[in-house]
Structure 1
Amino acid sequence: MHEMSLIESVIELVEEERRKQPFSRVRLIRLAVGELGCVEPEALRFCFDAIAHGTIADGALLEIEIVAGEGWCPGCRQTVSLAERFAECPLCANAMVQISAGQDLRLAELEVE
């Protein structure tokens, strides 16, 4: 389950941020998760509860925002919505659509005290 290592990395980012600007408590962690990124939001939540225990993020609320998939089609020269990786262009059926959004995971917001 790679979600566990992803959450460990998120906690490391939070700890790194605490070293830059000291805070005593994390209230909220908001992640932006691409729908094409092969990450299960429910698995992230499950892992967060286990990994955050005993860390600066213990007791923090985890919010997950899903980022829609998009791609650039060189055939019709349009940005199109994608529901899955390697999908054809919904406008012209070109198979060479290049994913431009929706495959990453990023720390979007951190609310601290």
Structure 2
Amino acid sequence: MHELSIANSVVEICVEQANGARVTRVTLEIGQLSAVMPDAIRFCFDVCAKDTAAEGATLEIVEMPGQARCLACGATLAIAVPYGQCDCGSENLELISGQQLKIRQMEVV
């Protein structure tokens, strides 16, 4: 379960950046192609945040859809898996969105 180490890293980064303040909300951006399970992150976040400045913080997860650009015709298409086929028939796609995992914002008091 790599989500535990990801959640632990998110908590560590937030606590460090909070500089002693209490973290009340964290918003993560998780791409649908990232192989990270949002429900597992939610569970692990609460476990990792226990006894830290992020304990009790609300975790919001924004799931970003997968997108690719066709290298044959230049079209942009939505994809749910890291491969696919363009309407022009080409399977030569470049992933442009959906693999990200980042802390979008954090609120502290």
> TM-score, structure 2 length as denominator?
0.93
Residue of 26, 40, 45 corresponding to 1:43: 40
Q: Which amino acid aligns with 1:51?
A: C
Whole-angstrom CA distance in 2 between matches of 1:78 and 1:60: 41
Residue of 84, 96, 102 corresponding to 1:106: 102
**1:11 corresponds to 2:2:** no
**RMSD after superposition:** 1.1
1:1-113 aligned at under 5 Å gives the runs 1-18=1-18, 22-89=19-86, 91-113=87-109
Q: How many residues align?
A: 109
Whole-angstrom CA distance in 2 between matches of 1:73 and 1:110: 35
Q: Which amino acid aligns with 1:5?
A: S
Whole-angstrom CA distance in 1 between matches of 2:21 and 2:17: 12
Whole-angstrom CA distance in 1 between matches of 2:21 and 2:12: 15
Q: Identity of paired residues, percent?
A: 38
- Please say if residues 20 and 53 of structure 2, whose CA atoms lie closer than 8 Å, have aligned partners that are also in contact: no
Q: Which amino acid aligns with 1:13?
A: I
- Please say if residues 30 and 107 of structure 1, whose CA atoms lie closer than 8 Å, have aligned partners that are also in contact: yes
Higher mean alpha-carbon deviation, 9-18 vs 52-61, is at 9-18
- Please say if residues 30 and 99 of structure 2, whose CA atoms lie closer than 8 Å, have aligned partners that are also in contact: yes
- Please say if residues 26 and 105 of structure 2, whose CA atoms lie closer than 8 Å, have aligned partners that are also in contact: yes
- Please say if residues 23 and 112 of structure 1, whose CA atoms lie closer than 8 Å, have aligned partners that are also in contact: no
Name structure 2 gaps, 5 residues minimum.
none
> TM-score, structure 1 length as denominator?
0.90
Whole-angstrom CA distance in 2 between matches of 1:62 and 1:105: 14
Whole-angstrom CA distance in 1 between matches of 2:85 and 2:52: 44
Whole-angstrom CA distance in 2 between matches of 1:49 and 1:87: 36
Whole-angstrom CA distance in 2 between matches of 1:11 and 1:95: 39
